[in-house]
Amino acid sequence: MGAGIRWENNFIRKGPEFCKFWSDYLASGKKNVCYIMGIGFDPRTNHGITKIFSLPGEGDRKCIAFKYIKENLVQDRTPNPHVIKHTEQLEKYLKDTVGIDPVYKELITRSDEDKSIASINSSKIIESTDLEGFTDIIIDISAMSRGVFLPLIYKMLSQIDKQVSPKQNLHIVVAENPVLDSSIEDKGVEEQMTFPHGFRIPEIAKTEAYSKIWIPMLGEGQLDQFRIINKELEPVAVCPVLPFPSIKLKRGDNLINYYDHLFNDPDFEPNNIIYADEQNPFQIYRLLTRTIDQYHNTFKILGGCKIILSTLSSKLMTIGAFMAFYESKKQQKIVGIAHVESIDHHLDDQCRTENSENDILYQIWLTGEPYGE
């Protein structure tokens, strides 16, 4: 593997380089930018947009902001005070600095029957949004859950891939903050695993006998989710992805202790462990693509296999998994992304105050100019 993979050459900027890139890029000519973001309780909600839209540059600016609504019932619409604060901050910032108002899109995350419908609704929203005329589309996933941003990016990338040159540029922006991430608690998880819309492995008679290979990207506080997926999938092989190198050097070791049931299982094959740089989604993409290819080729003799990725780790690593999924799916491999939805989240106020400014902004350019498209 290696030659011929889509993102063999890639474009990623972080920290100080993030601002430098956007400053140079926006100054380089007319750019019509559409910024798609979520307004959540996460203190990182407005960090990306305020950095990029404050930079001078010619061209139109638009902000599409997802408002998360738990149920389609008027009486239950009592927004979180942090969401109200972030909304007010965004509106004020856009009015004062850019001279525009955000375009709100309501995203209903749960059905009347309390089932998660965020992923299907997220792709529906983008379907009904006119993005013509924009040279650059930025999806800021800092305040979006996986169930929301995965179908959104999938849909957007599929649409752009169908365009003829010059294609729109698609950028993913994420504010990473490991301390803050580990402080966000899941308040209850669903009893079943689910595949976000577009990421399902078809459970059909033709492939029923195919073995399942599971590639979970491990992270802290996700043991319940790990167990639920493992129990439902009953994979024949598990290839856990551990973060190495990572900012905290012992993070991978700690995760081995945390998921001791997996690593102490006599059936577990230590050679299956994949070590990936937690800050480089393109490396994760390359490693996962290679693993998927190897299993796909090996199991071809037996008919085939189903490969399931699970992102129990950071959003940055999730982007790497998405790219591996997207490319493998295009090559007609049976691949999906399974996860377990959290019912709600909680972030301690003290932690919010102490850590909200310590994040690092990442920019991942998925398609467009640098790829000669």
Partner 1 sequence: MRSGINPFFSRASEYVGSDGKFIKLFSPEILFLFKDYPILNTVNIFRSSPGGGKTTLLKLFTPRVLHEIIKHQKHDESCKEIHKILKELHVVDDRTPLISASLISFNNEYSSLEHIDLNDIQKERLFYSLLNIRIVISILHSLSISKNLNFPEDLHQLEIKNTTGVNVPQNVMNLKTGQDFFNWASSLEESVCKEMDSFSFDISVLEGNIDLFSLELFNKQNLFFENKPIDEDILVMLDNVHDLSKSQRSNLLNKIINKRPPVTTWVAERLKALTMDEILEGTTSGRDRNTIYLERYWSSKSFEKFARSVADRRVAAVFDDEITNFTSFLSTTFKDETNVVIASGKKKVEERVKQKFSNDKYKQWLQSKDAEYENDFDGLVSWRTLEILLTRDENKPQKVMDFGEELAEEQLEVQEGNDVKNAAKLFLHEEMNVPYYYGFSAISKLSSSNIEQFLSIAGNVFEDILSKKVYKKLKKDYDLTITPERQEEIIVKKSKVQWKELTEKVPNFLEISNFLESLGRFCSSQTYVPNAWNSPGINGIAITMSDRLFLKDTVLKNFNHPLYRFARCLVTCISYNLIDYTLNYKCQGKTLMVLYLNRMYCVKYNLPLDNGKFKIRKLTELAPWTDKIYTPTKNKNLWEQE
Strands 61-69 and 33-39: parallel
**Residue 63 structure tokens:** 């902000």
What size, in residues, is the chain? 373
Whose CA is closest to 371, among 334, 330, 323? 323
Binding to partner 1 in span 5-64, by CB under 8 A: none
Could you tell me the smallest distance in angstroms from the CB atom of residue 196 to partner 1? 10
Could you tell me the smallest distance in angstroms from the CB atom of residue 187 to partner 1? 6
Query: For 116, which DSSP code?
Result: B
Beta carbons of 197 and 115 less than 8 angstroms apart: no
Could you tell me the smallest distance in angstroms from the CB atom of residue 111 to partner 1? 7
234 binds partner 1 (CB under 8 A): yes
Q: What is the DSSP string of 79-115?
A: --HHHHHHHHHHHHHIIIIIS---EEEEEE-B-TTS-
303 binds partner 1 (CB under 8 A): no
From the list 124, 290, 345, 352, which residue makes contact with partner 1 (rule: CB under 8 A)?
Answer: 124
Indicate the burial class of 78 (C-beta count within 10 angstroms; 0-12, 13-18, 19 or more): exposed
* Residues 140-179, mask of contacts with partner 1 (x by CB under 8 A): ---------------x--x---------------------
SS3 219: coil
77 binds partner 1 (CB under 8 A): no
Measured distance CA(125)–CA(121) in Å, rounded: 6
Could you tell me the smallest distance in angstroms from the CB atom of residue 223 to partner 1? 12
Could you tell me the smallest distance in angstroms from the CB atom of residue 197 to partner 1? 7
Indicate the burial class of 26 (C-beta count within 10 angstroms; 0-12, 13-18, 19 or more): buried
133 binds partner 1 (CB under 8 A): no
268 binds partner 1 (CB under 8 A): yes
Selected range binding partner 1 among 263-271, 275-283, 289-297, 364-372, rule: CB under 8 A:
263-271
From the list 20, 30, 77, 231, which residue makes contact with partner 1 (rule: CB under 8 A)?
Answer: 231
From the list 133, 202, 303, 370, which residue makes contact with partner 1 (rule: CB under 8 A)?
Answer: 202
* Residues 177-196, mask of contacts with partner 1 (x by CB under 8 A): ----------xx--xx-xx-
From the list 113, 130, 132, 349, which residue makes contact with partner 1 (rule: CB under 8 A)?
Answer: 113
Closer residue to partner 1 (CB): 291 or 355: 291
Selected range binding partner 1 among 10-18, 111-119, 138-146, 278-286, rule: CB under 8 A:
111-119
216 binds partner 1 (CB under 8 A): no
**Amino acid, res. 130:** D
Q: Other C-beta atoms within 10 Å of 132: how many?
A: 6
127 binds partner 1 (CB under 8 A): yes
Measured distance CA(181)–CA(195) in Å, rounded: 22
User: What pairs with residue 336 in β-bridges?
Assistant: 308
User: What pairs with residue 345 in β-bridges?
Assistant: 186
Whose CA is closest to 149, among 192, 191, 93, 107? 107
Binding site for partner 1 (CB under 8 A): 111, 113-115, 117, 120-121, 123-124, 127, 155, 158, 187-188, 191-192, 194-195, 197-200, 202-206, 227, 230-231, 234-236, 238, 261, 265-268, 343-344
